[in-house]
Amino acid sequence: MFSFSSSALVDRPFDWAYQLEDLGYTGWEIVNEGRQKLTAENISQAKEIAETTRLTITIHLPYSDLNLASMNQPIWEETVRQMKGCLSLASDFCRLAVAHPGHLSPLGMQMPDKAWSQNILGLQEICDKARDLDMVIAVENMVNMPALLGRRPEEILGMLENIDRENVGFILDVGHANTNGNVENFLELRDRVIHVHIHDNHGWKDEHLPVGAGTVPWEKVAEALASYRGRMVTESRSLEEGRLSVLSLKRLLKRRP
């Protein structure tokens, strides 16, 4: 069950999504950034794609200039408002939404416990909105940037436990884990995984390369996820690189025990 997602295509209209089925995809993850962000003006275009293709639609909630761990209350409220708004717009054709945890601002670095509490409260608010819309929230592990929350397995587990909602799970971003050198540690959480982001890198920055073009231990990933039956979302820089990742993934998965 392969889906396509790309933050590199957010400056383009939605029409390219009609090519996804021909490339071997059965799903599309809408990145709510740039021209892909769902609005009252463009929601009809997304609905048309959902209704005229067999693609399963998931969404990635917005993240640019937003912060669920913000110590600035108006910024925190705006973050939650925008995320809830995206859930409402997508609820007719989408059942799962991906959320980034917050990050530590300069003040948050001085008061990390308070920032953590803000992050948990924000995620709870989003989960409660999603529950009312019959949707699930998947919390994503983050890339190796010191201010970001959710870079380590224990942080993700702590978030899930503190959020304490039935409609929340873990999305494993394999590329993000590789930048932190803890892919295998994150794979130990495979029983909590409800969604997967797939891309490669060389372990030092978030390159979003095709599968096999970097240093991610894909054989170990495929083995650990042998019983996983959710979606695998290739986060690619282009449709062609997405196609290459799907081909590589299919070869890997055929070798699973």
Check residue 7 and give its pLDDT.
Answer: 82
CATH assignment of the domain containing 98: 3.20.20.150
Residue 78, domain extent: 2-254
**Amino acid (1-letter code) at residue 221:** V
Mean per-residue pLDDT, 43-64: 95
pLDDT tens for 8-25 read 777 777 888 999 999 989
For the record, the structure tokens of 219 come out as 């054989």
Average pLDDT estimate for 135-161: 97
**Predicted confidence (pLDDT) per residue in 190-237, tens digit:** 999 999 999 999 999 999 999 999 999 999 999 999 889 999 999 999
- pLDDT surpassing 60 at residue 257: no
Q: State how many domains the chain has.
A: 1
- Give pTM, 2 decimals: 0.95
For residue 56, the tally of other CB atoms under 10 A from its CB is 18
Supply the pLDDT for residue 159.
Answer: 98
Residue with tokens 């070869």: 251
Of 22, 27, 15, give the one whose Cα is nearest residue 196.
27
DSSP secondary structure string, 31-77? E-SGGGS--TTTHHHHHHHHHHS-PEEEEE---TT--TT-SSHHHHH
Confidence at residue 185, expressed as pLDDT on a 0 to 100 scale? 97
CA distance 250 to 228: 14
